[in-house]
Amino acid sequence: MAKIAIPRASTAMIFNDMINANVRGADTERTRVIEASGLIGRQVRWVTELRQSGIPIFWVRVERRADRKDRVDVLTDAFISGGRVPASPVVKGPLAQNIAELSIQPEDHEILKPRLSAFCSTDLDLQLRARRIDTVLLGGISTNMGVESSARAAFDLDYHVVVLGDLCWAADTEKHEWALTKSLPAFARVMTADAAGTLIR
């Protein structure tokens, strides 16, 4: 496959939901698996490289009302088979904040998303275009949900999308791998952060 350059001047990094609720919530086994995966260390190193290169970072996170009045329980097979029990919302507070290792800096951009996609009902597209960004790098949690949903939306908005597979994570390993190898290549270039680093010009 041709090694097409990633233009430094028109590229931005989008991290999806690297928040305490996803990484250090009540599920201690999930926390253990994420910590053991090396995901956080890889993301921290990549963020350092991005800051040194001047590539802007957009942190996308979820924060909803405790009474769930900002959410409709849409009927899906998964929702119905689960007994129509809605998931507890991530509400404003410590669980909705980025993990300490990935703190949001003044030069960064913070986007609150109301749905899976970072682009759905947010000003992310506006903020990217204001900075003349045409290429987005994607990583975060979960690979097959928020990351893939954002990649599809970015593709439809005519962005060049690069998914950094080693900076993504999903609880279901099979779905993680399927997204990276089967579905996402239709909407993005999929590679490691190291590989992307060698292509940034």
pLDDT tens for the 201 residues of the chain, in order: 568 999 999 999 999 999 999 999 999 999 999 999 999 999 999 999 999 999 999 999 999 999 999 999 999 999 999 999 998 899 999 999 999 999 999 999 999 999 999 999 999 999 999 999 999 999 999 999 999 999 999 999 999 999 999 999 999 999 999 999 999 999 999 999 999 999 999
User: Do the domain assignments include residue 79?
Assistant: no
User: Do the domain assignments include residue 70?
Assistant: no
User: Do the domain assignments include residue 141?
Assistant: yes
User: Do the domain assignments include residue 76?
Assistant: no
User: Do the domain assignments include residue 126?
Assistant: yes
User: Do the domain assignments include residue 174?
Assistant: yes
> 71-80: which pairs have CB atoms within 8 A and are 24 or more residues apart?
none
pTM assigned to the model: 0.96
Measuring CA to CA, which residue among 144, 189, 167 is closest to residue 40? 167
Structurally, the chain folds into a number of domains equal to: 1
User: Do the domain assignments include residue 78?
Assistant: no
User: Do the domain assignments include residue 82?
Assistant: no
Q: Which domain holds residue 171?
A: 8-64+90-199
We report the CATH number of the domain holding residue 12 as 3.40.50.850
Order of strands, edge to edge, in the sheet holding 160-169? Answer: 109-113, 57-62, 11-16, 135-141, 160-169, 189-191
